[in-house]
Amino acid sequence: MRKQLLLTPGPTPIPPEVALAMAKPIIHHRTSEYRAIFEEVIKGLKYVFQTENDCFVFASSGTGAMEAAVVNLLSPKDKVITVQGGKFGERWTEICQSYGIEPSVIDVPWGEAVEPERIAEILEKDLRIKAVFTTLCETSTGVVNDVKKIAQITSKHKAVLVVDAISALASIELRTDAWGIDVVVAGSQKGLMLPPGISFLSISPKAWALVNEAKCPRYYFDLREAKRSLDKMDTPFTPAVTLVIGLREALQMIQKEGLENIWKRHALMAEATRKAVLALGLELFAPHAPSDAVTAVKVPSGLDGENLVKLLRQKYGVSIAGGQAELKGKIFRIAHMGYITPEDILLVISCLEIALNEMGYKVPLGKGVKAAEEVFGKG
Ligand SMILES: *Cc1c(COP(=O)(O)O)cnc(C)c1O
pLDDT for 145-200, tens place per residue?
999 999 999 999 999 999 999 999 999 999 999 999 999 999 999 999 999 999 99
Cβ(167) to ligand 1 under 6 A? Answer: yes
Q: What is the mean pLDDT of residues 262-280?
A: 98
Quick one: 84 and 163 in the same domain? yes
Quick one: 181 and 305 in the same domain? no
Q: What is the mean pLDDT of residues 4-25?
A: 97
Cβ(176) to ligand 1 under 6 A? Answer: no
Please tell me the distance from the alpha carbon of residue 182 to that of residue 55, in angstroms, as a whole number.
Answer: 12
Quick one: 349 and 214 in the same domain? no
Task: State which residues form the domain around 68.
Answer: 16-256
Burial 350-371 (b: 16+ CB within 10 A, else e): bbbbebbeeeebebeeeebbeb
Listed residues 238, 256, 274: the one ending a domain: 256
Distance 279 CA to ligand 1 centre (A): 30
Distance 61 CA to ligand 1 centre (A): 8
Question: Where residue 172 sits, what CATH number does that domain have?
Answer: 3.40.640.10
Who contacts 4 (Cβ-Cβ below 8 Å, separation ≥6)? Answer: 317, 318, 319
Q: What is the mean pLDDT of residues 297-313?
A: 97
User: Which pLDDT score is estimated for 93?
Assistant: 98
Strand, helix or coil at 206?
A: helix
Please tell me the distance from the alpha carbon of residue 90 to that of residue 168, in angstroms, as a whole number.
Answer: 17
Please tell me the distance from the alpha carbon of residue 68 to that of residue 38, in angstroms, as a whole number.
Answer: 20
Largest CA distance in the chain: 62
Quick one: 23 and 110 in the same domain? yes
Q: What is the mean pLDDT of residues 110-128?
A: 98
Q: What is the mean pLDDT of residues 14-22?
A: 98
CA angle 202, 47, 88 (to 5 degrees): 45
What's the chain's average pLDDT?
97
Distance 88 CA to ligand 1 centre (A): 7
Quick one: 51 and 22 in the same domain? yes
Element spanning 240, H or E: none
> Percent of the chain having pLDDT more than 70?
100
Quick one: 237 and 265 in the same domain? no
Looking at ligand 1, which atom is closest to the CA of residue 63?
9
DSSP letter at 131 equals: E
Q: Is the dihedral of CA 161, 187, 172, 310 positive or negative?
A: negative
> Nearest CA to 9 among 335, 313, 349, 319?
335
Distance 87 CA to ligand 1 centre (A): 9
Burial class (CB in 10 A: 0-12, 13-18, 19+), 109: exposed
DSSP letter at 349 equals: H
Q: How many domains does the chain have?
A: 2
pLDDT at 379 over 90: no
* 88, 295, 336: residue to mutate for ligand 1 pocket, most atoms within 8 A of CB: 88
pLDDT for 214-252, tens place per residue?
999 999 999 999 999 999 999 999 999 999 999 999 999
pLDDT at 378 over 90: no
Listed residues 201, 234, 256: the one ending a domain: 256
Cβ(164) to ligand 1 under 6 A? Answer: yes
Listed residues 208, 235, 256: the one ending a domain: 256
